[in-house]
Amino acid sequence: MKEIFLLKLGEIVLKGANKRQFESRLRQNVRRRMKKFGEFDVYIMQSTVYVEPKDELADVDGAWEACRSIFGVVSLCRCRPCEKNLDAIFEAIENYLGDDLDCAKSFKVESKRSDKAFPMTSIQISQEIGGRLAEAHPGVAVDVHHPDYTVYVEVRDFAAYVHGPAEPGAGGLPTGVGGRAMCLLSGGIDSPVAAYMIAKRGVEIEAVHFFSYPYTSQLAKDKVVELARLVAKYSGKMTVNVVPFTEIQEAIRDNCPEEYFTLVMRRFMMEISQRIARHDGCGALITGENLGQVASQTMEAMTVTGAVVDMPIFMPLVGMDKEEIVTIARKIGTLETSILPYEDCCTVFTPKHPKTKPTLGQLQNAEKNLDREALMERALAGVEKIKVAGDDDALL
């Protein structure tokens, strides 16, 4: 029989009356991600998503890679289905896992019997199959405590399934169950990680990027679009809203005290982001802020920059240290792009001695010579919307 995937559900299994809604969304997400790779049956039974190729034309390896980045899946395995009898199970293990067993120093068999009508218990299945495998592979020792390799047997409703050790999945909740949010996406390390972490909670992501040409280059813009594409591998397709920000930054430079440049700039960013978010049906903003990391990320500074908006601001990195953030960036594949030497608008007109403990009154006084509304209206009129998708998630 052909190889299929078993995707094990994570915290979805803890849901109550709305569990089916989470399962339905996960099934839709898996089906969408499989479209690029051929025809697959995708169905859920007993807290497991079954992904089964319909024919030999399906790109099984490509589909497997895509499944590893689907939120809502805690672990996954490639397996071989077979008839629900000991002879068929043993034969399937030999054909499918025999080479892996021969390369191991020791092994054990773990069985799970979801079909309670099957006449043997899980322990009995493991003992019987383990005995047969020990005879077939005399050079591989049996070690039930610390085996070099584990053979898994799952007796389920439709068939028995045999496989080796499972791989960790992306975890989290299915994309789309947690609403929509707008991420302020720079070209640095932090904001793509912040977007990933909120997307992992089932939130659909959009992004906004502030572009200050000619102070920042086209390469800097391309870098941000690439970061969005890398995040979209997990979150699904998104829109990057590129906001022309040069006029605003020059107005800040010409009309505000230098020590407040960055804070005033961030207040513009927050309010513009909120307006785009509301227009696009987003219920929150996401930032990559990290308490104490830079002068504009003190408690006082984050208070005054967030004061211009009234929707929730999610800061998933706020209590993390840099090494933790870098570890996640490396894991999701954004680090190498983030460290490319193309600076974003946050480095333009940076004050020599930035204000670290501002008050709201001080910021409002610093902005008094700016026509904030007119500046924001012109920036919003020039927004460029760029559709972005992950490698296996075609744009519609």
Among residues 203, 213, 149, the alpha carbon closest in space to that of 173 is found at 203
Provide the token pair at 352. 């020599």
Q: Pick one of 3.40.50.1220, 3.40.50.12280, 3.30.2130.30, 3.30.470.20 as the CATH number of 4-168.
A: 3.30.2130.30
Q: Please give the average pLDDT of every successive group of 10 residues along the chain, which has 396 residues.
A: 90 89 95 94 93 93 95 96 96 96 96 93 96 96 96 94 96 95 95 97 97 92 96 95 96 95 95 98 96 88 95 96 96 95 78 90 96 97 94 48
pTM assigned to the model: 0.91
Among residues 342, 198, 354, 189, the alpha carbon closest in space to that of 265 is found at 354
CA 197-201-202 angle, to 5 degrees, is 120
Tokens 């559900």 appear where? 9
What is residue 394's predicted lDDT score, i.e. its pLDDT?
42
* Radius of gyration, alpha carbons of the chain: 26
Residue 108 has φ and ψ, to the nearest 5°, of -150, 165
| Single-letter amino acid, residue 354 | P
HSE toward the beta carbon, residue 95, CA cutoff 13 A: 15
What is residue 350's predicted lDDT score, i.e. its pLDDT?
83
Among residues 332, 330, 358, 396, the alpha carbon closest in space to that of 265 is found at 358
Between CA 288 and CA 209 the distance in angstroms is: 13
What is residue 305's predicted lDDT score, i.e. its pLDDT?
95
- Note the maximum CA span of the chain: 86
What is residue 364's predicted lDDT score, i.e. its pLDDT?
95
For the chain, the structural domain boundaries read 4-168, 180-388
User: Contact 286/194 with Cβ under 8 angstroms?
Assistant: yes
User: Contact 307/207 with Cβ under 8 angstroms?
Assistant: no
Task: Note the CATH number of domain 180-388.
Answer: 3.40.50.620
